Amino acid sequence: MNFDDTPQEAEFRAIARAWIGANAPKQYEEDLRKSSLGRTALKNADILDVAKAWQKKKADAGWACLHWPKEYGGRGSSPIERVIWQQEEGPFGQLSRMFIIGHGMCGPTMMAFAREEHKRTYLPPLASGEKVWCQLFSEPAGGSDLAGLRTRAEKDGDDWVINGQKIWTSGAHYSDYGILLTRTDPTVPKHKGLTMFFLDMKSPGVEVRPIKQASGASDFNEVYFTNVRIPDHQRLGEVGDGWNVSLTTLMNERSAIGAAVSTGFPELFEYCSSLMLDDGPAIEDRAVRSKLANWAVKASGLKYTSMRAISALSRGERPGPENSIGKLVAGSMIQDVATYALDLQGAAGVVSGEDAELAGRFQAMLLRAPGTRVEGGTDEIMRNIIAERVLGLPGDIRVDKDVPFNKIPTKGR
């Protein structure tokens, strides 16, 4: 039981640290350190530009997507080196959140299912941040029940013709490419008639409409497809095998999102350490301390759970469904932490934005948090995964399992 690097790991860490020290965009360090869920605000700069510039610099020096093979723009590093890099990159790692869908989900799916020439063409610019990718899965009729999606793909010569609508597509408004899950056969049960593609988001017939979120920001979109043509060679996996392909994406999604969760605790602890309440310092109030202690052990529990996972990785074990707990615990925790921070501010907690305490950091957190509990699988879906895949409990009863998709009732009574 130790936290020590092996000699090779220590050497890798030293090289990474030196390179980051010499090259990172230090002028944004303070802003990045202060950003947490809800806000990654850079003063006087567009975050996408800054993120792209940092990613390109990393790619040119061989530090992008470390665990990807070199020929696809990576470094061919071990999983543990990737973790060391993340530790060393620190607050600058916040910038890669702009690429998390492309790097965490689309890239691995391409790597598993695209043709070799496509991998060599599309993956290096994805790794270097020059091209941004999005994930076109969810639809009004298919969220948790993803296989309920209705966007059609019909074969026409060497092309497929796409019609339908996606929703909640993060980053579609600045994405160059996307991976797209479609229905190619509505006459078979829902999981069997799906097919996956990747496409150029600038293709004729693709229309992206930003959605204003509950938080007021517009990070996700509706995407409409009207007779969009995709050549067959951009199909990922076999016709009808889209469900399997999407499982690869979702598994990667959970480990990508799971690794990046914030809990809000360090921010709250720092805040309470300096906050004065009516009858003295917040940190000396018994009720405050009890709340803090409860969240402290959740935050440290998550931290050491991920270290145990990293140790397993370094032994060559694969991450399993137990990684679902990070998002599950952190999601509602950050919501509760933000609620409590505002409670401590009393009536003033209602003010948000730059006029508010700490420039509205906790208010922003509060307004973003509900999305964390939904994106990448809701809390309920995470609990199902733990119950079924970790504890071995029976799957939910699926009344539509063997019914052809076009015979499934579409509304409640």
Ligand X SMILES: Cc1cc2nc3c(=O)[nH]c(=O)nc-3n(C[C@H](O)[C@H](O)[C@H](O)COP(=O)(O)OP(=O)(O)OC[C@H]3O[C@@H](n4cnc5c(N)ncnc54)[C@H](O)[C@@H]3O)c2cc1C
- The residues assigned a catalytic role are 253
**Quick check: 276 binds another protein (CB under 8 A)?**
no
Helix (H, G, I), strand (E, B) or coil at 347: helix
Question: Half-sphere exposure of residue 56, counting CA atoms within 13 Å on the CB side?
Answer: 9
DSSP-assigned states of every residue in 245-314: HHHHHHHHHHHHHHHT---SHHHHHHHHHH-EETTEEGGG-HHHHHHHHHHHHHHHHHHHHHHHHHHHHH
Answer left, alpha or beta for residue 227, where phi above 0 means left and psi between -120 and 50 means alpha: left
- In b/e form, how buried is each residue of 89-102, taking b as 16+ CB within 10 angstroms? beebbbbbebbbbb
**Quick check: 220 binds ligand X (CB under 6 A)?**
yes
Residue numbers 321-360 binding another protein by CB under 8 A = 322, 325, 328-329
Contact with another protein (CB under 8 A) among 386, 400, 403, 404? 386
**Quick check: 252 binds ligand X (CB under 6 A)?**
no
Contact with ligand X (CB under 6 A) among 86, 163, 170, 339? 170
**Quick check: 165 binds ligand X (CB under 6 A)?**
no
User: What distance in Å separates the CA atoms of residue 109 and residue 100, rounded to the nearest whole number?
Assistant: 13
Instruction: Choose between 66 and 146: whose C-beta lies nearer to ligand X.
Output: 146
CA dihedral 74, 127, 304, 385 (to 10 degrees): -110
**Quick check: 301 binds another protein (CB under 8 A)?**
yes
Instruction: Choose between 313 and 381: whose C-beta lies nearer to ligand X.
Output: 381
Which positions from 171 to 210 touch ligand X by CB under 6 A, shown as an x/- string?
----------------------------------------
Residue numbers 353-392 binding ligand X by CB under 6 A = 371, 374-378, 380-381, 384
User: What distance in Å separates the CA atoms of residue 88 and residue 336, rounded to the nearest whole number?
Assistant: 29
**Element holding 329 (H helix, E strand):** helix 325-345
Contact with ligand X (CB under 6 A) among 54, 122, 168, 197? 168
Which positions from 65 to 104 touch ligand X by CB under 6 A, shown as an x/- string?
------------------------------------x---
Instruction: Pick what 144 binds: ligand X, another protein, none; C-beta below 5 to 8 Å, kind-dependent.
Output: ligand X
Smallest Cα–Cα separation from 125: which of 197, 181, 200?
A: 200
Instruction: Choose between 211 and 283: whose C-beta lies nearer to another protein.
Output: 283
SS3 readout for 189-227:
ECCCCEEEEEEECCCCCEEEEECCCCCCCCCEEEEEEEE
**Quick check: 400 binds another protein (CB under 8 A)?**
no
**Quick check: 169 binds ligand X (CB under 6 A)?**
yes
Contact residues for 86 (Cβ-Cβ < 8 A; gap 6+): 93, 259
Instruction: Pick what 378 binds: another protein, ligand X, none; C-beta below 5 to 8 Å, kind-dependent.
Output: ligand X
For residue 1, what are its two tokens?
């039981």
Q: How far is CA 217 from CA 213, 220, 367, 371, 387, in A?
A: 6, 9, 10, 12, 34
- The minimum distance between CB 214 and ligand X, in angstroms, equals 9
For residue 201, what are its two tokens?
């988001």
Strand partners, 200: 177
| Number of chain residues interacting with ligand X (CB under 6 A) | 22
Instruction: Choose between 393 and 408: whose C-beta lies nearer to another protein.
Output: 393
Instruction: Choose between 198 and 271: whose C-beta lies nearer to ligand X.
Output: 198
Instruction: Choose between 163 and 384: whose C-beta lies nearer to another protein.
Output: 384
Contact with ligand X (CB under 6 A) among 35, 40, 138, 182? 138
Interface residues toward ligand X, by CB under 6 A: 101, 134-135, 137-138, 143-145, 168-170, 220, 371, 374-378, 380-381, 384, 396
Interface residues toward another protein, by CB under 8 A: 1-5, 9, 80, 269, 273, 283, 286, 289-290, 292-294, 296-298, 300-305, 307-308, 310-312, 314, 322, 325, 328-329, 380, 382-384, 386-388, 390-397
